Amino acid sequence: MDIKQQFVMREVAGEYLLIPVGKTSLDLNGMITLNELGAEIWKMLPEVKDEAEIVQRILADYDIDEATATADVAEFLGHIRELSIII
């Protein structure tokens, strides 16, 4: 999945931070905090083709049922879609 804006992900004091770089910081002046699952999804975004693939990868790595994983992934993607980070 294509990330439309530029961010650097950092882990500071146990928190996952998405820090805007380049011109992205004009639209998003500040930072986005992610939970652990959000950080995992963020890392896989450039490698996956769609939402279903993210859910499959999460199911492989976490002890979680498919309905919960699907809902969590949709919620996360919804948030970053609202911020125009993905289409």
Torsion 63-67-68-73 (CA) sign: positive
The nearest distance, CB 14 to another protein, in angstroms, is 7
C-beta pairs of 77-83 under 8 Å, 24+ apart in sequence: 77/41, 77/51, 83/5, 83/28, 83/32
If one asks whether residue 14 binds another protein (CB under 8 A), the answer comes out as: yes
Q: Give the x-and-dash track for 25-64 against another protein (CB under 8 A).
A: xx--xxx-x-------------------------------
> Is the separation of the CB atoms in 12 and 29 below 8 Å?
no
Q: Which pair of tokens denotes residue 75?
A: 């919620």
* # residues near another protein by CB under 8 A: 18
Looking at the Cβ atoms of 54 and 76, the one nearer to another protein is 76
Q: Which residues are at the interface with another protein (CB under 8 A)?
A: 8-10, 12-15, 17, 19, 21-23, 25-26, 29-31, 33
